[in-house]
């Protein structure tokens, strides 16, 4: 059964960006794109019959145009009410077992930054599925093969981002670039720390670190199917900022959820938080735990929820 992919819609340029990215991802994930107008409604009015009627009217009028722009089968439009827009999208995704929620950049921030307390930020803390945030201007760029990137540090979470990236690249005929970041020296106890180097004559932790990162990246690229155009690049600096700096060259960067916290939930770690805050391109955060539909694999035991 095809699962829904929820597109949070607003009648703004950012809403159009979300629609464009959502349509592309729905196609890639073999999901039904559902355009949703999330309506914040006071709690006392939430269950009034008038509310239900008004919501239906909203869905019919406001969403007529956006849903018409979605091609393919299974496209739908609806309005969802809850005490906040983020909550409405979250609850809908939970109730329908959605594969992802896609929203536009916050209209309050500069350069599409994720603003604390915004709808996108709240979704990125604990959503029951993948969360994509479309970069500002994404809709205006027109459809073309995606330039995909994924961050890889050898962790299980990053491995999932890479696998999702491989699956997406295959279905969208896209290129995929894997990044490994060699961290900055200087923080407490960091191996690149001069503290360690000064204790052992000839020790150069920085070089060791760099060599290990290169091995890791090469090993991972080595097991990607040979027919996919995959590139590998080593970056230097603070991991989040290093990814922000290269984000201009891509259309979508995939990141895993952090390595602690509940399974099947999207929770950002500090690297992806920084990336979402500054990225020039769209970003997709994946929940912790493998989602076979995202990977396009028939893994029955894993797909069972």
Interacting residues with other proteins (CB under 8 A): 39, 41-45, 48, 50-51, 54-55, 81-84, 86-87, 90-91, 94, 116-117, 121-122, 125-127, 153-155, 180, 182-183, 187-193, 195-196, 199-200, 203, 205, 208-209, 212-213, 216, 258-262, 265, 267-270, 273
| Shortest distance in whole angstroms from residue 260 CB to other proteins | 4
Q: How far is the CB of 6 from other proteins (least distance, A)?
A: 14
Alpha-carbon gap, residue 148 to 175, rounded angstroms: 6
Q: CB under 8 Å to 227, separation ≥6 — which residues?
A: none
Minimum Å gap between C-beta 226 and other proteins is: 26
DSSP 8-class letter at 70: -
Cβ closer to other proteins: 143 or 260? 260
Q: Least distance to other proteins from the beta carbon of 42, Å?
A: 4
Residue number, 167 or 216, with CB nearest to other proteins: 216
Minimum CB distance to other proteins smaller for 168 or for 192? 192
What tokens were used for 181? Answer: 């970041």
Of 50 and 300, CB closest to other proteins: 50
Residue with Cβ nearer other proteins (136 or 274): 274
- Do strands 125-127 and 266-267 pair parallel, antiparallel, or not at all (unpaired)? antiparallel
Nearer to other proteins, 73 or 202 (CB): 202
* DSSP string covering 220-286: HHHTS-TTS-EEEEEEESSHHHHHHHHGGG-SEEEEPPPSSS-TT-EE--HHHHHHHHH-SSEEEEP
Cα separation of 45 and 48, whole Å? 5
Q: Please state the closest distance from residue 142 (CB atom) to other proteins, in A.
A: 34
Q: How far is CA 69 from the centre of its chain?
A: 22
CA distance 206 to 75: 52
Which residue's CB is nearer to other proteins, number 229 or number 259? 259
Give dist(CA 258, CA 246) in Å, integer: 21
- Least spacing, CB of residue 189 vs other proteins, in Å: 4
Least distance in Å: CB of 233 to other proteins?
Answer: 15
Determine the Cα–Cα distance for residues 6 and 305; give it in Å rounded to an integer. Answer: 19
């Amino acid at each position: 059964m095809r699962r829904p992919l929820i597109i949070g819609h607003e009648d703004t340029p950012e809403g159009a960006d979300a629609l464009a990215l959502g349509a592309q991802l729905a196609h890639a994930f073999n999901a039904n794109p559902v355009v949703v107008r999330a309506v914040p409604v006071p709690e006392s009015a939430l269950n009034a019959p008038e509310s239900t009627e008004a919501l239906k009217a909203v869905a019919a009028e406001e969403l007529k145009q956006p849903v018409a722009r979605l091609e393919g089968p299974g496209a739908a439009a609806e309005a969802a009410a809850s005490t906040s827009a983020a909550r409405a999208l979250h609850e809908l995704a939970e109730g329908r077992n959605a594969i992802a929620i896609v929203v536009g950049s916050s209209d309050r921030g500069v350069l599409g930054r994720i603003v604390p307390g915004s709808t996108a930020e709240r979704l990125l803390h604990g959503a029951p599925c993948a969360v994509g945030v479309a970069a500002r201007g994404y809709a205006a760029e027109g459809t073309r093969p995606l330039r995909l990137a994924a961050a890889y540090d050898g962790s299980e979470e990053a491995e999932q981002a890479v696998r999702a990236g491989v699956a997406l690249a295959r279905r969208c005929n896209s290129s995929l670039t894997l990044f490994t970041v060699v961290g900055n020296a200087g923080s407490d106890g960091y191996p690149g720390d001069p503290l360690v180097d000064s204790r052992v004559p000839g020790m150069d932790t920085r070089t060791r670190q760099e060599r290990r990162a290169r091995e890791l990246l090469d090993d991972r690229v080595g097991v990607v199917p040979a027919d996919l155009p995959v590139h590998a690049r080593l970056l230097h600096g603070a991991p989040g900022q290093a990814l922000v700096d290269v984000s201009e060259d891509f259309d979508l960067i995939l990141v895993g959820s952090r390595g602690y916290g509940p399974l099947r939930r999207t929770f950002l770690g500090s690297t992806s938080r920084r990336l979402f805050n500054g990225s020039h391109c769209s970003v997709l955060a994946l929940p912790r735990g493998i989602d076979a539909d995202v990977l396009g694999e028939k893994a029955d035991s894993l797909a069972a929820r």
